[in-house]
Structure 1
Amino acid sequence: MQKTRVLTGITTSGTPHLGNYVGAIKPAIEASQDANVQSYYFLADLHSLIKCQDPRRVRESRLEIAATWLALGLDTDNAIFYRQSDIPEIPELTWLLSCVCAKGLMNRAHAYKAAVAENEATGQQDPDKGVTMGLFGYPVLMAADILMFNANKVPVGRDQIQHIEMARDMAGRFNHLFKGQYFTLPEAVVDERVEVLGGLDGRKMSKSYNNTIPLFAAEKKLLKLVRKIKTNSLEPGEPKDPEGCTLFQIYAAFATPGETADMRRRYLEGIGWGEAKDELFDYLNTHLREPRERYMALMEDPGHIEAVLQKGAERARAEAAPLMDRLRHAVGLGRFI
């Protein structure tokens, strides 16, 4: 039986936080252990250059994210784990797809439209001010990531569904123009059960809002950040509604159903906010202690991480190179003999 191919990209533009773990990392690592699925996980470092032109930050983020996934138990024997920039066939495929992709399709991309709308709202004469070709052509690179490995399913948030539809459009057009079944049409997978955690200020935990709790923050920093989580003015002894409470939401995302039910009861009985924050810190610190230690050890051994990524790149290129050779022949760029 042919395995279902599932592909996930991780943009290397920041430090992984609790929201990343709950929303993407944890379910992806669980999927990496499924013998019936061929998983592809890659560090989307070419994508990161669209928003970040700080080489030091890009380097740090690549190392931090790779170490995070390995520390949390990514099965790199089953899953193929690689850096996007280590696969030269991906930018080459990006160009082939660019040559069949309509500019009008890119004009409708959410990120580009948002940039134009912001320029118009601030009275800029040039609606494209600040828009790079990286931002404009981002969906083509994303399509190349997906189509390079003929992924069947791509787990995404709702805001990314459009990009999967664009990849399908490019794949279908390429197949039609060059008269062959070169690409599988990928499907977007949106898991409505995936939880979006609140941050320190109650809004969605996001680097954009500067309200995150790093996944592997040192013990003292973790305690300091947990104590900064916004709560209301209810006193100890007053019943508290766990629904919509960031403290409770984060606790429930990590705790067992039984532990969550017990904490819900304590909220209704009037647990004090200070006690609730201490309980959350103790729980997170206990459950993240071992992976944090593995993470710190990995950060001190970049050579090991590099070896894992190079092994993944070899496996990825073993698939990418033959497909790229076939595509070159399809468009007329094959060798003469």
Structure 2
Amino acid sequence: MSKIRVLTGVTTTGIPHLGNYVGAIRPAIRAAAQDNVESFLFLANYHGIIKCHDPKMIAESTKAVAATWLACGLDTERTVFYRQSDVPEILELNWILTCITAKGLMNRAHAYKAAVDKNLEDKQDPDFEIEMGLYSYPILMTADIIMFNAHQVPVGRDQIQHVEMARDIAQRFNHRFGKNIFRLPEVVIDEQVELLVGLDGRKMSKSYGNTIELFLTPKQRQKAVNQIITNLKEPSVPKFKGESPIFEMYQAFATAAEYSEFERALNDGLAWGEAKKLLAAKIGAELEPLTDKYHDLIANPQQIEDILQAGAAKARAEARETLAQVKEAVGIKSLV
């Protein structure tokens, strides 16, 4: 059976929260377990330094993100799990691609255009405080993707443009040098992916300050859940979906039957406080079995490092072959 190669990168600029788990980690691990899928998953720490210039945060986030994926059940026998910076061939390919990428394509990148528009609104020079990492990171993302000839790249809708750019750059290279080295990747948007709401009802995001951490003690988890917004309806008064994020959050961790029972109880007047206790318990039932593994990994970074180095060895073996073809194509080769 031919396998579909799926590549996913995780930026190392924060500590994973429930929204990351529901929207990305859990579905990616389930997908990687399919027999027809060959999964590549990497920690995008070079992408991390585009926006985050706090070395401590980059290092801590890299460890926490790796530990989270491993604790949540990532099978490193089935998945090539590596840190971007451990595969220097990606950076070599990044430069070669930079040399054949049209500046006009980079000018159209959403992140760059948004930064320029913000500067113009503030009556600043269009490129005020815009650094080359922000400007050219779609090329690095292209190198990440096409180095391993991924068939599919699952992304959110805000990232579709980057996969389209990867296709454009790969096709440009193949055409210019007359070599069919790179596969054109396909973007994958999962319409069923759950976007978990946060404490305030908006999408759970660090930028909104409305997140709940993954690995908490039961007491800490209950304290966090208690901050979810509700209205002032008294116990015994019917409560309905749309009045609090509790409904959506419970649904993300429950079976259809369990959620129906929970919703019915609130419709019948269950107190908000009692509903929050049920929600904290439901989240805990799924995450508490993973918590000890997470903290064991955090306390033993050498174990994480060994896993990442083993993944990097697998990734580099393939990256060297691809890069050798690329360098041969552009004329960077031995004289004999």
Q: TM-score, normalised by structure 1?
A: 0.98
* Deviation of the 1:2 alpha carbon: 2.6
The secondary structure found in structure 2 opposite 1:38 is: strand
**Structure 2: which amino acid aligns with 1:33?**
A
Q: Which residue does the alignment assign to 1:225? A: 224
Indicate the SS of the match to 1:42. Answer: strand
Runs of 4+ in 1 over 6 A off after TM superposition: none
Matched, 1:294 2:293: yes
The residue number in structure 1 matching 2:24 is: 24
Does residue 328 of structure 1 match 2:316? Answer: no
Counterpart check, 1:315 vs 2:314: yes
* Aligned pairs for 1:1-337 within 5 A: 1-124=1-124, 126-243=125-242, 245-337=244-336
d(CA) in 1 for partners of 2:123, 2:269: 51
Pick closer, same or farther for the CA change 1:244–1:236 going to 2, 3 Å. closer
Give the Cα separation in 1 of the matches to 2:273 and 2:307: 43
* 5+ long unaligned stretches in structure 2: none
Give the letter for the 2:178 counterpart.
Answer: K
Amino acid in the other structure paired with 1:135: L
Supply the distance in 1 between the matched residues of 2:232 and 2:126 (Cα, whole angstroms).
45
Aligned-residue offset at 1:218: 3.0
Aligned-pair CA distance for 1:244: 6.3
Range that drifts further, 146-155 or 248-257: 248-257
- For residues 311 and 292 of structure 2, what CA distance do their matches in structure 1 show? 24
Unpaired runs of 5+ residues, structure 1, are none
- Partner of 2:82, secondary structure, is strand
Quote the Cα distance in structure 1 between the aligned partners of 2:228 and 2:241.
14
Return the alpha-carbon distance in structure 1 between the equivalents of residues 35 and 97 of structure 2: 32
The SS at the match of 2:252 is: helix
Which range moved further: 127-136 or 282-291? Answer: 282-291
Deviation at 1:335, TM superposition (A): 1.5
Partners of 1:233 and 1:104 in 2: CA distance: 54
Which AA in structure 1 matches 2:207?
A: S
Amino acid at match of 2:49: L
Specify the code of the residue in structure 2 equivalent to 1:118: K
Aligned residue-pair number: 336
Identical amino acids, percent of aligned pairs: 55
In the superposition, relative to structure 1, how do residues 244 and 34 fare at CA in structure 2: closer, same or farther (>3 Å)?
Answer: farther
Distance 1:80 1:244, change over 3 A: farther
**TM-superposition CA deviations, 1:54-103 (whole Å, max 9, x none):** 11110000000000000010011011000000000111111111111111
Write out per-residue CA displacement over residues 285-306 of structure 1, whole angstroms, 9 at most, x where no aligned residue: 2221110111011111111110
Alpha-carbon distance in 2 for matches of 1:61, 1:329? 37
Distance 1:209 1:256 in 2: 28
1:10 partner amino acid: V
In the TM superposition, residue 121 of structure 1 has moved relative to its aligned partner by 1.4
Q: Matched residues in 2 for 1:30 and 1:284: separation? A: 18
How big is each residue's C-alpha offset from its partner over 1:275-324, in whole Å with a ceiling of 9 and x where there is no partner?
Answer: 11111111112221110111011111111110100000000011000110
> Does structure 2 conserve the Cα–Cα contact (< 8 Å) formed by 1:47 and 1:138?
yes
* 1:137 partner SS: helix
Go from structure 1 to structure 2 and tell me whether the alpha carbon gap of 1:267 and 1:4 turns closer, same or farther (over 3 Å shift). same
Q: Distance in 1 between matches of 2:116 and 2:230?
A: 37
The amino acid that maps onto 1:200 is L
